[in-house]
Amino acid sequence: MSRLAINKQSPEGYKAVGAFEAYVQKNVDHVLLDLVKLRASQLNGCAFCVDMHSSDLQKNGVPVRKIFAVAAWKEAPFFSDKERAALALTEEVTLVSEQGVTDQTWDEASKYFSDKELSDLVLAIAAINVWNRIGVSTHLAPPPLD
């Protein structure tokens, strides 16, 4: 059971997070965005978001094996170099307190993304981390299985 409905208690703040999310969705490729969201959500242990973004990837035609492999993307052969760069950046931004974002990871991402795309990708990673913190702290649960 959810602890708190932030959208009801702080509607203006929740609406602001929603506007941030709308910007990201408008400016980042949807499949890449959901891969990033899924990986950050796995790292943060947000069951609601893992469920949502896995489902969204499946709806967008991403093979189930690739979705399952996001948790082991470094070893899995299903990801492009661009996706790998985004996933590596996602991990380092999400776990920023561990080592920051290394020059190696940043430089690799810069090979595949323009400055604008990289800016939007960092914003996308920040946005899913906000959603994960809302979901985890309030015990937001995914809907029951059909």
pLDDT computed for residue 146 by the predictor: 79
| Residues 139, 29, 79, 119, CA torsion sign | negative
Residue 80 lies in a domain: yes
Residues near 32 by beta carbon (within 8 Å), at least 6 away in sequence: 82, 83, 86
Q: How many domains does the chain have?
A: 1
Q: What is the rounded distance in angstroms from the CA atom of residue 107 to the CA atom of residue 109?
A: 5
Residue 6 lies in a domain: no
What is the average pLDDT across 62-79? 98
Tell me which of 5 and 103 has the higher pLDDT: 103
Segment 43-52, tens digit of pLDDT? 999 999 999 9
Residue listed under structure tokens 């090979």: 111
The CATH code of the domain that includes 119 is 1.20.1290.10
Segment 92-145, tens digit of pLDDT? 999 999 999 999 999 999 999 999 999 999 999 999 999 999 999 999 989 988
Which band of pLDDT confidence, cut at 50, 70 and 90, is reported for residue 1?
Answer: confident
Q: What is the rounded distance in angstroms from the CA atom of residue 105 to the CA atom of residue 7?
A: 35
Which band of pLDDT confidence, cut at 50, 70 and 90, is reported for residue 2?
Answer: confident
Residue 1 lies in a domain: no
Residue 98 lies in a domain: yes
Residues near 56 by beta carbon (within 8 Å), at least 6 away in sequence: 30, 34
Domain that holds residue 44: 11-138
pLDDT computed for residue 22 by the predictor: 98
Residue 30 lies in a domain: yes
Residue 4 lies in a domain: no
Segment 7-22, tens digit of pLDDT? 899 999 999 999 999 9
What is the average pLDDT across 43-68? 97
